[in-house]
Amino acid sequence: MSYNKTKTTKRFTYEVNRNDTAKKAGSNTVSISTNPNIESGYSVGSNTFTMTVREAQALRGFLNTELSYGDSIVVD
């Protein structure tokens, strides 16, 4: 079964592509793309970062641990 989902915000587009029956490398991916926004100066042009779903799950675990709401922010 194939699953494709896209979420767009002002600055980014997030995309998940999964195919449970696919055995081909790169068939299950997560992509984060910047959206061009000349007015804010944030991004001119578009850049895309693509990772496997397994890599995205590792990133999610890291972010959940390091960015939890209970932690205080320490600036060195």
Of 36 and 69, which is predicted with more confidence?
Answer: 36
Spell out the domain ranges in the chain.
Answer: 2-54
Q: pLDDT for 2-57, tens place per residue?
A: 899 999 998 899 999 998 776 666 679 999 998 887 676 666 678 999 999 899 99
Residue 60, pLDDT above cutoff 90: yes
Of 71 and 64, which is predicted with more confidence?
Answer: 64
Residue 8 confidence (pLDDT): 94
Model pTM? 0.72
Q: Mark 11-33 as b/e (b = at least 16 C-beta within 10 Å).
A: eeeebebeeeeeeeeeebbbeeb
Over residues 51-65, mean pLDDT: 93
